[in-house]
């Protein structure tokens, strides 16, 4: 049952009635029994079921993309890209998991010694609203490949998308939604074997502390405030285009977006002019419309938070080179905003800004640019733009992040691990490293 329906910017949003703890615990008991059977199957049998799910997801791609657009508010083409990448994710792991999970025989003085990768059991995931298909599957698919069962607590504001997704999952996979009230999440951690969380650093600390108390494995993908460093010898035209795309795609509501644009003084004025010209091309409007390039934010309270961060920056000496105001349009729209002259007095210097606001930081030289990039609580990703690739690699090694992209904006690649350091969390998703997060790496020794 849906508890309520809201209409924002013409979008119809559903709010799911939470389960009682008694009802969920019964579902969890059944899931644990299903997990034992599922783990007993050969990995190729498990991946075959995932292939069938990938086919269903692909067949329903356009319908689900429209639902994501309606509930989240992102541009429709961005939602279609999310569905395409999700299908690719399933097929990637279905193809590689049998090889990566094969027993590894290691020579010792034993007649036979091996390492095997065995499931932990039932993994609980607490997921956000901004990528309601991709983020759920990014966690669940590798966990399922290894024989785990998965219970996902989705964000209540994307209940419609979540319900449609799990209709496609059906009963073939031990993979269920956990329509839990927030107050019951800690109890659910105690009754499952591991937890994956994507969301704010504040909530991540609470969940990780409780999981630690009960010795449960955790993987945390928390906030990000990625630096986008433009060195003096960079291709400024390309850097300006990429910075604009990375900062303002998905209405700026991506943890992995370029949020702090760091430019060295000698090219700052030229770059800023190019960057502002790109920002001026952005068009707010109906996210379903092909011409819209800047969608509304997900909820009114999220827009209010972004605007409060901008107002704080302006009160502390920052200058809005564009945007920085609440538009006349009703709803959740916020204009592309570029803040210059930002100092450590401003909240946006230290905080993640989850909306269409770019923070400009001016560096004296290359070394200072790297120092500014590291002077932040977060450590998810960073970009360096420079014609001198050797030097770019040198500076990349100095950055305290989980990933560095050279002459490209930050993104995630199925073949590479994704995750951060510092307040951006720990553990990795994607690639073979993500596959091994929720397994018991078990040694066998035979005399």
DSSP secondary structure letters along 309-346:
HHHHHHHTT-EEEE--S--SSSSS----EEEES--TTS
Size of the chain, expressed as the number of residues it contains = 447
Which segments of 291-428 does DSSP mark as H helices, in order? 300-315, 347-350, 366-374, 389-396
| Percent composition of the chain: helix, strand, coil (DSSP 3-state, to 5) | 45, 25, 35
Question: Which residue, 345, 321, 346, 348, is CA-closest to 335?
Answer: 321
Domain residues of the chain, as ranges?
2-222+424-446, 226-406
**7, pLDDT greater than 50:** no
For domain 2-222+424-446, the question of CATH label 3.30.56.10 is answered with no
d(C-alpha 396, C-alpha 249), whole Å: 24
Question: Which residue, 53, 317, 307, is CA-closest to 169?
Answer: 53
Residue 79 annotated as catalytic = no
* CATH topology agreement for domains 2-222+424-446 and 226-406: no
Question: Which residue, 413, 438, 426, 441, is CA-closest to 151?
Answer: 438
Q: What is the pLDDT of residues 89-127, one digit of tens each?
A: 999 999 999 999 999 999 999 999 999 999 999 999 999
Instruction: Give the three-class secondary structure for 107.
Output: coil
pLDDT of residue 63: 98
Q: What is the pTM of this model?
A: 0.94
**437, pLDDT greater than 60:** yes
Q: What is the pLDDT of residues 332-352, one digit of tens each?
A: 999 999 999 999 999 999 999
Neighbours of 4 (CB within 10 A): 11
**291, pLDDT greater than 80:** yes
Catalytic position from the list 255, 279, 332, 346: 255
Residue 255 annotated as catalytic = yes
Question: Which residue, 331, 382, 338, 340, is CA-closest to 357?
Answer: 338
Catalytic position from the list 71, 82, 221, 351: 221
Q: Report the CATH fold assignment for 226-406.
A: Aldehyde Dehydrogenase; Chain A, domain 2 (3.40.309)
Per-residue pLDDT band at 5 (split at 50, 70, 90): very low
Q: How many helices (H) and strands (E) does the chain have?
A: 15, 20
Per-residue pLDDT band at 2 (split at 50, 70, 90): very low
């Amino acid at each position: 049952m849906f508890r309520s329906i809201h209409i924002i910017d013409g979008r119809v949003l559903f709010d799911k009635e939470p389960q009682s703890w008694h009802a969920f615990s019964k579902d969890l008991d059944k899931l644990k029994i299903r997990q034992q059977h599922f783990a007993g199957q050969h990995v190729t049998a498990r991946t075959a079921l995932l292939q069938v799910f990938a086919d269903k997801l692909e067949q329903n791609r356009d319908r689900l993309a429209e639902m994501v657009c309606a509930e989240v508010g992102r541009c429709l083409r961005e939602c279609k890209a999310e569905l395409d990448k999700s299908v690719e994710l399933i097929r990637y792991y279905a193809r590689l998991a049998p090889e990566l999970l094969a027993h590894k025989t290691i020579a010792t003085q034993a007649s036979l010694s091996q390492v095997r990768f065995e499931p932990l059991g039932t993994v609980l995931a607490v997921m956000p609203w901004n990528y309601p298909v991709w983020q759920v599957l990014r966690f669940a698919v590798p966990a399922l490949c290894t024989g785990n069962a998965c219970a996902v607590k989705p964000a209540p504001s994307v209940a419609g998308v979540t319900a449609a997704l799990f209709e496609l999952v059906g009963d073939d996979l031990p993979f269920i939604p956990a329509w839990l009230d927030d107050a019951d999440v800690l109890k659910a951690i105690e009754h499952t074997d591991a937890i994956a969380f994507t969301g704010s650093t504040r909530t991540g600390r609470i969940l990780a502390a409780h999981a630690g108390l009960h010795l449960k494995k955790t993987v945390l993908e928390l906030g990000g405030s990625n630096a986008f460093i433009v060195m003096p010898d960079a291709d400024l035209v390309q850097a300006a285009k990429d910075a604009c795309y990375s900062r303002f795609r998905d209405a700026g509501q991506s943890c992995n977006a370029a949020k702090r644009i760091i430019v060295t003084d000698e090219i700052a004025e030229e770059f800023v002019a190019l960057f502002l010209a790109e920002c001026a091309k952005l068009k707010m409007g109906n996210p379903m419309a092909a011409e819209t390039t800047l969608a509304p934010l997900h909820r009114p309270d999220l827009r209010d938070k972004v605007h409060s961060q901008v107002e704080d920056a302006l009160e502390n000496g920052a200058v809005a080179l564009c945007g920085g105001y609440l538009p006349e349009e009703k709803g959740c729209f916020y204009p592309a905003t570029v803040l210059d002259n930002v100092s450590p007095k401003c909240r946006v210097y230290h905080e993640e800004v989850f909306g269409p606001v770019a923070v400009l930081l001016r560096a004296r030289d290359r070394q200072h640019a790297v120092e500014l990039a590291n002077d932040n609580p977060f450590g998810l990703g960073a970009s360096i733009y420079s014609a001198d690739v050797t030097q770019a690699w040198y500076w990349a090694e100095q950055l305290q992040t989980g990933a560095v992209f050279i002459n490209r904006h930050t993104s995630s690649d199925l073949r590479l691990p994704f995750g951060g350091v510092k307040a951006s969390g720990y553990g990795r998703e994607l690639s073979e490293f993500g596959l091994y997060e929720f397994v018991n790496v078990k040694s066998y020794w035979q005399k």
